């Protein structure tokens, strides 16, 4: 078992796992950036646009909470505060799953759409209940939840969408999800360079890349990238 970052003191403030805090917060900042970019998008918005947007917002809030309540301020807030980050992360995956399901709504039977949506919602409620229950509340629950949502729900749907209509956004998102296995491997292997840059920190940096790549994929699938390119070309023509 690798050691955690040494605790430091900022005046009288006890700051635990400082590098882990900052790398976790980096994920949150990228999530807030993605949310801001989607929030300020002025082009045409499809039915599931806001769900993609709220995925990033929930993820950003979750990672920010995990950074400061789950790591930095554990001397003051206690381990139960980690549930905030886990719950927001689970809510974000529900939004992402729902947005993906709407993406393929016209390509699948109504019964399949309803069944998949029921599966997502039931899983979300079950996970939320386990997180709240003191006997089952641990980091493995959000880990399993994110794996099931990404690998067994969202990834197959985007592969199907790409194979059916050749959506470049779905292709990008599917590739990003496959890359998302890498941060999980880094975390579970507990590979660390030192106490000051351990497996938490490495997996967080890899996860920050994952979130940014996902933003690029969602830009493509929502039409945001094409809109921005067209707008830049129009400005260039006027210049």
Q: pLDDT-derived band of residue 136, with 50, 70 and 90 as boundaries?
A: confident
Domains of the chain: 18-225 (1.20.1070)
What is the average pLDDT value for the chain, to the nearest integer?
93
User: How would you label 106-134 residue by residue, b for 16+ Cβ within 10 Å and e otherwise?
Assistant: eebeeeebeebeeebeebbeebbebbeee
Query: What is the per-residue pLDDT across 148-190, written as a single tens digit (0 to 9) for each?
Result: 999 999 999 999 999 999 999 999 999 999 999 999 899 889 8
Instruction: Give first-to-last CA distance, the chain, whole Å.
Output: 60
> Whats the size of the chain, residue-wise?
239
What SS3 class is residue 31? helix
- Alpha helices for the chain (secondary structure H): 18-39, 49-67, 74-77, 82-103, 110-132, 140-147, 155-165, 168-179, 181-189, 199-222, 224-238
Task: Kindly state the tokens that stand for 120.
Answer: 């997502």
The per-residue pLDDT for range 187-224, each reduced to its tens digit, is 889 889 899 999 999 999 999 999 999 999 999 999 99
Mean pLDDT of 77-103: 93
pLDDT at 239 over 70: no
* pLDDT above 90 for 133: no
Residue 232: exposure state from Cβ atoms within 10 A (0-12, 13-18, ≥19): exposed
């Amino acid at each position: 078992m690798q050691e955690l970052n040494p605790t430091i003191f900022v005046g009288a403030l006890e700051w635990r796992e400082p590098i882990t805090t900052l790398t976790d917060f980096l994920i949150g900042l990228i999530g807030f950036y993605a949310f801001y970019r989607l929030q300020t998008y002025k082009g045409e918005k499809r039915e599931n646009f806001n769900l993609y947007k709220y995925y990033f917002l929930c993820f950003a809030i979750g990672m920010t909470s995990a950074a400061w309540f789950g790591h930095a301020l554990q001397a003051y807030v206690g381990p139960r505060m980690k549930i905030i980050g886990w719950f927001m992360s689970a809510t974000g995956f529900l939004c992402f799953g729902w947005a993906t399901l709407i993406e393929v709504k016209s390509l699948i039977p109504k019964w399949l759409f309803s069944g998949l949506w029921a599966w997502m919602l039931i899983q979300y409620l079950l996970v939320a209940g386990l997180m709240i229950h003191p006997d089952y509340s641990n980091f493995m629950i959000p880990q399993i939840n994110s794996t099931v949502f990404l690998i067994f729900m969202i990834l197959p749907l985007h592969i199907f969408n790409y194979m059916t209509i050749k959506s470049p956004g779905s292709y990008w998102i599917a590739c990003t999800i496959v890359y998302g296995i890498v941060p999980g491997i880094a975390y579970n292997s507990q590979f660390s360079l030192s106490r000051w840059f351990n497996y938490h920190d490495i997996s967080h940096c890899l996860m920050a890349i994952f979130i940014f790549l996902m933003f690029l994929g969602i830009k493509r699938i929502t039409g945001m990238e094409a809109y921005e390119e067209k707008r830049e070309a129009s400005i260039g023509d006027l210049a």
